[in-house]
Amino acid sequence: MRRAGLLGVPWVRPWSWQAFLLACITIAVSAVLQGICVALGAKFYFAAFLPSLFVLGLIAGTPAAGFAALFTIPLVWWAFIPPYFEFNVLSSANADSINLFCLLAVLLIGLADLCRETMKIVSRGGLKPPGESAATNPQ
């Protein structure tokens, strides 16, 4: 892990085992939060997973966030869509929820990747103005 220069956000190398371990921990914490929401009567199956995907993409990179998004779909289908703890045929509303989650996950992971790259540029001192090259003629 290394520290970023902007806001002190810790970064993990994108394809490291630490990134995928962080993804598994994030999925577990989000599942617990989602279980609490479902116990309180919420019908939003992916509500706790979307913000965690953005934060995971920001800290651990795109591969770990993509892994978490792909693992989230069967987890939610099995644990939070009735009948609970079994795979059953999805209704069209549940299939639409999964499709919407996939769209939002791709958009959030892409945004997190853009933010991560921007923070790298800012921590290095920003963009440098283009210098004069050998091809330019200063006449």
133 has pLDDT over 90: no
Mean pLDDT of 14-35: 95
Flag whether 131 is in a domain. Answer: no
pLDDT band at 137 (very low <50, low <70, confident <90, very high): low
Mean pLDDT of 120-126: 82
Residue of higher predicted confidence among 16 and 9: 16
What residue numbers bound the domain in which 92 lies?
2-123
Flag whether 134 is in a domain. Answer: no
State how far the Cα of 94 lies from the Cα of 85, in Å rounded to an integer: 15
Flag whether 66 is in a domain. Answer: yes
Flag whether 130 is in a domain. Answer: no
Flag whether 87 is in a domain. Answer: yes
Q: What is the pLDDT of residues 44-95, one digit of tens each?
A: 899 999 999 999 999 999 999 999 999 999 999 999 998 889 999 999 999 9
Residue of higher predicted confidence among 38 and 133: 38
Number of domains in the chain: 1
126 has pLDDT over 60: yes
Flag whether 138 is in a domain. Answer: no
CB-based burial, 83-119: b 16+ in 10 Å, e otherwise = eeeeeeeeeeebeebbeebeebbeebbeebbeebeeb
Q: Contact at 8 Å (CB) between 58 and 109?
A: no
